[in-house]
Amino acid sequence: MTQPALAITQLTKIYDDGFEALKCIDLEVAPGDFFALLGPNGAGKSTTIGIICSLVRKTAGSVTIFGHDIDKDFSAAKQFVGVVPQDFNFNQFEKPLDILINQAGYYGIHRVEAERRAEKYLKQLGLWDKRDIASRTLSGGMKRRLMIARALIHEPKLLVLDEPTAGVDIELRRSMWSFLKEINAQGTTIILTTHYLEEAESLCRNVAIIDQGQIVKNTSIRELLTQLNKETFVLDSRDEVLQCPVVDGYVLSQVDGHSIEVVVEKSQSINELFAALTAQGIYIVSMRNKANRLEELFLDLVEQNLQEKANG
């Protein structure tokens, strides 16, 4: 039987100040998956990642990585995981090449092999030219890529990324996405936390949403999106719209002189809406989602969870 890449059972974390960050969560990630762990700030995402990579001590429960328990078989378990944390945590005075070679050494990789891999990953991530400068002089995007290279130096089977594209410009974010897709296609299981839900929708196959220390949803992205009951679109008209149009069954509001916002229920047809608007002399030239589809769902689920908590 194939071992899950990650199996979390009844995981609980209570910090010294009594804050219960994780409340008996269960989670399983299949080998080869591209998995999103989503949640609002303080939901427990980073605590979960911290426990997986042993920077946070769990209060109860178990974590296994490719069948290796992080307590009983920590050496083997750690060999399988690479972590890209949220904050920069490398020695800012060391050179990128040294950072990678040292990291390989901590995993028992021989120096010759470490140098080969360091060259490979620094080249793949566009940092080879910067290999011999102090890493504090790298730009924010370069520092993020350096952390990805460092996490990959021991070629882990499970790569955990905690908001890897935070503060990264769109062009670089896209190039990081294609790099991550590539290594996932080569067989590396990836777990990603992100605040950019477009990122999760674009990259991940499965998702868990965590809120207030509990998993509130654990399913595939496709399945999750089918639960979306309504979408909000912004329609741009060719000509100026002087007054917000009225169409039976649809809720429309005017954004500005050329844009209208409309909420379309799952049961409604967008063709009918266009026909009604055309009949009123409004010609739509483009349309877009007001928010990312996953974002709408995410907000609904978090709101729902909050209400359930409030109702006891």
Partner 1 sequence: MDNGQKWIAFSTIVRREINRFMRIWPQTLVPPVITIVLYFVIFGKLIGSRIGEMSNLPYIQFVAPGLIMMSVITNSYSNVVSSFYGSKFQRNIEELLVSPTPNWIILLGYMVGGMSRGLGVGAMVTLLSLYFADFSLHSVPVTIGIVLMTSLMFSLAGLINAIFANSFDDISIIPTFVLTPLIYLGGVFYSIDLLGDFWGSVSLINPILYMVNAFRYGMVGITDINIVWSFIMVGIFSIVMFSVALHLLEKGSRLRS
Residues that bind partner 1 (CB under 8 A): 15, 50, 53-57, 74-76, 78-79, 81, 83, 85, 87, 89-93, 98-99, 101-103, 105-111, 150
CA 312/CA 310 separation, integer angstroms: 5
Beta carbon nearer to partner 1, 54 or 232? 54
Question: What's the min distance (Å) between Cβ of 309 and partner 1?
Answer: 25
Q: How far is the CB of 74 from partner 1 (least distance, A)?
A: 7
In the sheet with 158-162, reading across from the earlier edge strand, the strands are: 81-84, 158-162, 189-193, 34-38, 206-211, 214-220
Residue (99 or 142) nearer to partner 1, CB: 99
CA distance 67 to 71: 12
Among 33, 34, 26, 32, smallest CA distance to 10 is for: 26
Nearer to partner 1, 99 or 262 (CB): 99
Shortest distance in whole angstroms from residue 133 CB to partner 1 = 14
Report the residue number, 90 or 121, with the smaller CB distance to partner 1: 90
H or E element, residue 97: helix 96-106
Please say which residue, 13 or 217, places its beta carbon nearer to partner 1.
13
CB of 20 to partner 1, least distance (A): 14
CB 152 within 8 A of CB 81: no
Q: Which is nearer to partner 1, 14 or 234 (CB)?
A: 14
Minimum distance of partner 1 from residue 106's CB (angstroms)? 4
Are 212 and 309 in contact, with CB atoms under 8 Å apart?
Answer: yes
Q: Distance between CA atoms of 218 and 210, rounded to whole angstroms? A: 9
Amino acid residing at 168 = V
Question: Nearest approach, Cβ of 273 to partner 1 (angstroms)?
Answer: 52
Amino acid identity, residue 213? G
